[in-house]
Amino acid sequence: MTALFRLLKIIRVGARYRLDLLLDSAQQPWWLRSAKPLLWLFPKGELNRGQRLRHALEELGPIFVKFGQLLSTRPDLVPQDIVKELNHLQDNVAPFNQAEFQKIVESALGQPVEELFAEFSCEPLASASVAQVHTAKLKSGEEVVVKAVRPGIENTINEDIALLFRLASLVERFSADGRRLRPVEVVEDYQHTILNELNLQMEAANACQLRRNFENSPMLYVPRVHWEFCRQNVMVMERIYGIPVTDIEQLEAQNTDMKRLAERGVDIFFRQVFEDNFFHADMHPGNIFVARENPKQPKYIAVDMAIVGSLNREDQYYLARNMLAIFRRDYRQVAELHVQCGWVPADTPIGEFENAIRSVCEPIFEKPLAEISFGQVLIQLFQTARRFDMQVQPQLVLLQKTLLNIEGLGRQLYPDLDLWSTAHPYLERWLKDRFAPKALWQQFKRYAPEWMEKFPEIPELIYENLERQRLRPATQNIVKPEPKTRQGRYLWPIMGTACLLMAAGPALAAWSYQSLLLAVVGLALLWHR
């Protein structure tokens, strides 16, 4: 019943703001055209179409506001007048009562604001979909911002998530693409993400991690968190003074190197995804600023780390290799990698899949970003996915959303940015470093304690296995061997060789127990083949 009431509210808000006017008559579905006679009850008013959409999204709550934030970064897909209005959703959502904000802060921190801060502003600095921010000054004189979660927002989010789950279940059950799109898993992932936004202590921890990752970096600055003032619904952090990344006039007025700024944005993204494996996944323009110092070597400032993402090692590896194969126009390898990582079925015809990928990717090369619409590319890839039963990967949804935001920012900062030539050498270097002896040795040192803990059990396991083989009846031994897969054929020798190489590293200086153990394990793996 809760989901039904929420659905009715969405219909009512859409009718009140006459969102049907956003679509041409020819684009409207039959059921909307059938309901036209009832819409006379809702006058059109003085609002333009962008204002209608913005006010409707604000009234419907944070999930819809975030959808509007994403649309505002896509001027290639959304008309300019609508983008202009949706930009207000970045950090200009209607604020809630100021007295209520102060009450939330005092209740969370246990003291009046007069005792907590030397100064406290009652006027909001920014108001977003989930939280609101005010400025303050600590007793030490340091300027800070105070962030508090909107009251009652969790109930609205839970209602929306419940409705999304029901809609996703219907899609999965009745749609031909339901299994491939995996909508229920996508909603589960989104539920986890947006509920994390309600926990400001988690956001503070994310900010600290990102700050450590880019400590002393010339490319990105993350404000310092004041943990003594942080609770689940309240967070206090250093106040920053920067230029909003979309304020092109201010950036150009101080002679900012826009090309370097755009390239550094790409560098930051790839470093977060592939080196740190911890990326800011809510990089809409309202969360990104540019430092005023040294405009010839521009530096980003990031805020609002409520949503972060990471990939497992396998996804990192396949993603990097896929992108490199696309850069090299090796579409055969792209098709094979999709099969190897399980993104498309194993029986996919490689030749046909290769040709389909070529038809999508080939037009995007050797063009400036201004001439490339990744939105159109995504639409074509979706059509390709329908043909080859490519499944949605929920673990990559956040990354895909971040890529959309990055493209939107790149278009506004430096339309002639060559994204491919910027990313290509980075990925080449990352893959080379990933399998360098030093990197392999670091991985071994990380997992060696677990291996050593289990090593004493290996002789007993080998003995038990051999004993079972000896006692097995002869008739059971006559079994047609299963064909080895490509991965299985090479797995053991690769692992064995890697262990021997890592053993040789410390062995060059002086033999140690760890070196001997590695050598024994490597020889055992080679023998296993």
Give residues with Cβ within 8 angstroms of 270, minimum separation 6.
Answer: 423, 426, 427, 430
SS in 3 state form for 207-229? HHHHHHHCCCCCCEECCCECHHH
Buried b (16+ CB within 10 A) or exposed e, 345-362: eeebeeeebbebbeebbe
Q: Are 34 and 248 in contact (CB under 8 A)?
A: no
Say whether 282 is catalytic: yes
For residue 375, give the amino acid letter.
Answer: G
- Of 245, 305, 240, 309, nearest to 272 (Cα)? 309
CB atoms near residue 434 (< 10 Å): 15
What is the C-alpha separation between 55 and 93, in angstroms, rounded?
9
What is the C-alpha separation between 30 and 263, in angstroms, rounded?
47
- Please report, for residues 97, 275, 452, the alpha-carbon distance to residue 449 in angstroms, rounded to integers and kept in the order given: 55, 24, 5
Helical segments of 472-512, H only: 474-477, 486-507
For residue 164, give the amino acid letter.
Answer: L
What is the C-alpha separation between 32 and 424, in angstroms, rounded?
47
Catalytic residue, from 282, 304, 330, 347: name it: 282
Residues annotated catalytic, as ranges = 282
